[in-house]
Chain A
């Protein structure tokens, strides 16, 4: 086993050339995820969180930058030992239906990775499939069913089980919860938390539901317009966010208690995030920031240490009146 963090990205950029111009989806991201962490990447649509997740494991080609996975250079590893890399790192997509063959039964879906990697004989593979079903708490009766006939929660369990088939060390999940109903979402969240504890996995989850990220993640990265706005340990960051964007993002999440909601002060941002085709000069959040200063429109702030123990990319971090959340 090689040393090093589960993920280390340096200066990662993903730019897309489109008819309307260059889209800077990910524009200079440094990211470190420790082994055994449950790491959340949060932000609004267009902030580059999904592109970042895909670029980390090479599903999306990076324009610039380097990624090490489990202490090895990702590009070299995937080139030299494609199957070994696939056994170590798995990806879960947002839409489970779109990532499964509609004509394969659940049993075939779960067995296929084992066949491809030549793991065990037929009997051993069957036993492993049963083990996988138990891990994700699905009954054996789903084995002969097609993905279409399963509920949304069951499908997501199948895609998790398939990702676990090769006993990966790192699981990257793109919005695995957003297509699910509230009560089912809690089941899947708890499943991730249980799997992580039980299997010692490193999990990276891309999400826009902040309350859930706070609930389950150990560390978190907040992205805005292709850059990291703030990162740190989840609970302290959520309790005391230093970046005005993180503050606004948290403030936007309503409390389920209407009595709190009736009196709670809110930070209401104006407008939508700008287009990643045309990020503003200086701080990318300066066009919507409630505490913006002239220098913010000129000088892009670097990540620096803040009170909660993480880092934030804001000239004013920790220096102004406190968050209203």
Chain B
């Protein structure tokens, strides 16, 4: 009888602890965004302002039967989901049909863990896609692998759903 009361007390208290640990507020990103937009190409720093990475997803829609350019991965894994294969094969077909076309294969991870190790993990993911393309017959010179690790997250959130969106490889056409 008494144990039941004790157990209830523990249950209530630990759920209070768990709740207080879970709450966090999302920040609105409305700081000087417009100013940043205007100053994007002019930087006062003495060393180079970087080049721009653009996601040419819209361009890709016209590339044959390619249905998607982003492929997702499970936690700590670099194995391709089988239902991504048709889209990847379609990328291969396009590349083989357009020998002047070039892609960057980006690799990404979720933000947990060590940054440089994540660069290595991201590269593994991009390489998985690259291997499939090359096995299909794509010329390796058409492919460049670039791992961003956890440095270019898909979202700012820290839930499992958002981590799932971070773990990805993206095909970006830089030519053709």
- The answer on A and B forming one complex is no
Residues of B in contact with A (beta carbons under 8 Å apart): none
- Chain A interface residues (CB < 8 Å from chain B): none
